Amino acid sequence: MDNYKASGVDIVAGYESVDIIKHHVARTMRDGVIGGIGGFGGLFSLAKFKHMEEPVLASGTDGVGTKLKIAFAMDKHDTVGIDCVAYSVNDIICTGAEPLYFLDYIACGKVVPERVGKIVEGVALGCQMAGCALIGGETAEMPGFYPDDEYDLAGTAVGIIDKKDLIDGSKIVQGDVLIGIASSGLHSNGYSLVRKLLAPSKDNVGKYIDEFGQTLGEELLVPTKIYVKTILSLMENVDVKGVSNITGGGFLENVPRMLPKGYCAKLKTGSWDVLPIFKYLENIGKLDTIEMHNIFNMGIGMVVAVAQEDADRAMQLLQNLGETSYVIGEIAENSDKDFIYV
């Protein structure tokens, strides 16, 4: 063991990390979890879903990406775990599937138990927000591959839905209304460009920016919003025909992903409040509207499609859930384009 530690791998630190994260993991437990952490595989029972005619599992996996560079610069590691969970669960909720459990993966140059604990604290909080259990994961110490003070973070979510209830966009027709649900900020997209334009570093992440009402680092580390409980509540009360997570590729790539062939999304520019961070980046980078909408969420984290007659009810439900939402467009027939600005 001494020779292994000399090579850069500290087994004892790994044990300490597990002890620290146990109580964070415990907070995420839900019906269906079998056993606890420490086994060779996380176990989850599907017994409570026997009522489903044809149960379908939905899965999603993603990483936090270069947003982690901001966490390194600020030495703040308790929010990026929320981002890690958000991107997987926000993807699978687009199918209507309820997230059941989550697995995380942390790869680092050196295991620092307190830092791993903060990361997993964020992951556990994200799981609580999504209503899923954190049933397993891996912390890999890889000296010489990562610097001692850096790490990568990724994860996988698994959910379930009855096949007859799948949201696949097939019911979308001309005239359906597009509702945008507000984002919390940048979420985790476009950070390579953000870092190029703003050059965040240990020296300037503490700089207060009037437009943001907080420091540069605080603005850039705002966690990705998790929409799971909102979409599940909406589905219980309204016929949700399509859901699009505005993630990498912005509006231009993601909204068309929920549309059936022969239809396009007519987006009403100026129909929602664009957050200050996007205006700030647009001005500094001298980026045009199309480029901004192709990279960033522009203040809308999730788009749902509902029938015209359900739009007012959906908006009221979203308000009751504490969400800020906007009618941002509608569905039109178009065989040549899948996205139109009006």
Instruction: Please check whether residue 89 is in contact with residue 130, taking contact to mean a CB–CB distance below 8 angstroms.
Output: yes
* Whether the model pTM is above 0.75: yes
- The per-residue pLDDT string of the chain (342 residues; one tens digit each, 9 = 90 and over) reads 555 555 555 556 655 777 777 888 888 999 999 987 767 889 999 999 999 999 999 999 999 999 999 999 999 999 999 999 999 999 999 999 999 999 999 999 999 999 999 999 999 999 999 999 999 999 999 999 999 999 999 999 999 999 999 999 999 999 999 999 999 999 989 999 999 999 999 999 999 999 999 999 999 999 999 999 999 999 999 999 999 999 988 888 899 999 999 999 999 988 999 999 999 999 999 998 888 989 999 999 999 999 999 999 999 999 999 999 999 999 999 878 777 877
Instruction: Please check whether residue 231 is in contact with residue 304, taking contact to mean a CB–CB distance below 8 angstroms.
Output: yes
The domain 2-165 is classified under which CATH number: 3.40.50.300, 3.30.1330.10, 3.90.280.10, 3.40.50.80? 3.30.1330.10
What are the b/e assignments for 53-65, b being 16+ CB within 10 Å?
Answer: eeebebebebbbb
For the chain, the structural domain boundaries read: 2-165, 177-341
Which residue from 188, 62, 89, 76 is spatially nearest to 122, judged by alpha carbons? 76
Q: What is the CATH number of domain 177-341?
A: 3.90.650.10
Q: Which two tokens stand for residue 53?
A: 């005619």
Helix axes 11-26, 113-130, angle to 10 degrees: 30
What DSSP line would sit under 237-279, residue for residue? HS---EEEE--TTHHHHHGGGGPPTTEEEEE-TTSSPPPHHHH
Which residue from 239, 202, 244, 205 is spatially nearest to 227, judged by alpha carbons? 244
Instruction: Please check whether residue 205 is in contact with residue 70, taking contact to mean a CB–CB distance below 8 angstroms.
Output: yes
Which residue from 246, 243, 258, 236 is spatially nearest to 317, judged by alpha carbons? 236
- Residue 127 to residue 79: CA distance in whole angstroms: 12
Q: For 253, phi and psi rounded to 5 degrees? A: -90, -35
Give 176's DSSP letter: P
